[in-house]
Structure 1
Amino acid sequence: MLEWILAEWMQIVGFATGAACVFLAARRNIWTYPLGIANNIVFLAVFVPAGLYAAAALQVVYLVLGVHGWVRWGRGVEQDKGYIARTPRRAVPWLVVAGIGGTAVLAWFLATFTDSQVAVADAATTAASLVAQYMLNRKWIENWFVWIGVDIAFVALSIVTGLWIVAALYVLFIGLCVGGYAGWRRVERTSAPGEVAAARV
């Protein structure tokens, strides 16, 4: 057992920090961001040897988005723990374009410049994750639907690449995301009508 822990300690730390990060996000706690940044550093070291280059690069981008979210939840309208917004309709086309365009560009890059055997899947989960993280930073409640889709895909991708602990983590993430949506929905229902309307603008 000890030998296994020593061999897999990075995945174990990634599991713990990742689970805590999603749990805190579900509870709208700003500490989700520093824990998320720690999780990014650990997974960067896990994904590169596994050949998940886009997922590894994603961790670097997450650091930037983590700072963005940390600032918004600390200083912006999102700092109000009772603030929950719906994704603005005008933002939906741009989010879709970002997801599809990001997938296409990353898939081409991985297929051209790396030895990745899962280029399209790696690219798609990476692009969708970035979209979901931006939506989370803005406290758009639909971010949870995107995360659930990403987590399901990551379970399969992790199994294919032999990262069983990471796969288990993403199974846990799915449950946490369902709970996160339910919790945010309860908060949304208790918001004043004026606050909800303002959030949707």
Structure 2
Amino acid sequence: MAAWHWLASWEAVAVLLGVAYLLLAARESLWCWYAAFASTAIFLVLFWQVRLYLESALQVYYLAMAVYGWWQWQRPGEARTLAISRFGARAHGLVIGGVLALSALSGALLSRYTDAALPYLDAFTTWGAIVTTWMVARKILENWLYWIVIDSASIVLYLDRGLLLTAALFAAYVVICIAGFLAWRRHYRVAAAVSG
């Protein structure tokens, strides 16, 4: 019982920091990366405890991406900030095809060689999140649409593992991602109108 209380307490802290990350990212605030780093460190341990091994490994990547995103967003440059950009159809095709192929391969390996829970779904959310986190750091507009799909799939994963607060967090993420997409799209259009 003490272990469950510990898990639930840290899950609550990670969830609050996760909400802060996404709200700050939607506002294009550099502080989002600090919240991301702290939340990620906690989730790394939590996911390992509930046998979501790829999700746990993903947190190591998130730690590095929090540092990269912070560096990318604060780099001095001509405009002092990284501009929002878009992917073309070919880039989207490569990303989606790559994520699906890696998910199938990783899911099969996890299924065969580990006791991982929901190995294919774990693989899909992990590989999708890897690419999409990079898209956030590079301020690719469509990252928000990818996150809506990944976060929706993650809700199923976390409910299955009894991580109710984390599932609720990801449900909130879906709503915040819609708002983030609309805000970034508005900024993108304004910038395009000014430069064009």
SS of the aligned residue for 1:126 comes to helix
Cα displacement string for residues 41-68 of structure 1 (whole angstroms, at most 9, x for unaligned residues): 1101111111111111000111122222
Cα root mean square deviation, aligned? 2.2
**What is aligned with 1:158?**
158
Matched AA of 2:18: G
Mapped to 1, the partners of 2:72 and 2:10 lie a distance apart of: 30
| Deviation of the 1:191 alpha carbon | 1.1
Distance 1:169 1:193, change over 3 A: same
Aligned to 2:38: 38
Deviations 1:132-181 (CA, angstroms, capped at 9, x unpaired): 11111110100000001011111111111111111111111111111101
**2:99 equivalent in structure 1:** 99
Q: Within 2, Cα distance between the matches of 1:76 and 1:131?
A: 25
Cα 1:14–1:192, aligned 2, differ >3 Å: closer, same or farther?
same
- In the alignment, structure 1 residue 111 sits paired with structure 2 residue 142: no
Runs (4+) of structure 1 exceeding 6 A deviation are: none
Do the aligned residues in 1 keep the contact of 2:75 with 2:81 (CA within 8 Å)?
no
Letter in 1 for 2:162: G
Aligned twin of 2:138: 138
Query: How far off is 1:96 after superposition?
Result: 2.5
Q: Give the fraction of aligned pairs with identical amino acids, expressed as a percent.
A: 32
Q: TM-score normalised to the size of structure 1? A: 0.87
Q: Normalized against structure 2, the TM-score is what?
A: 0.89
Name the residue aligned to 2:184: 184
Structure 2 stretches of 5 or more lacking a match? none
Deviation at 1:19, TM superposition (A): 0.2
Structure 1: stretches of 5+ with no match in the other structure = none
Q: CA deviation at 1:94?
A: 3.4
Once the two structures are TM-superposed, the CA of residue 31 in structure 1 deviates from its matched residue by: 1.2
Match of 1:80 in 2: 81
Report the CA distance shift for 1:186/1:169 in structure 2 as closer, same or farther (over 3 A). same
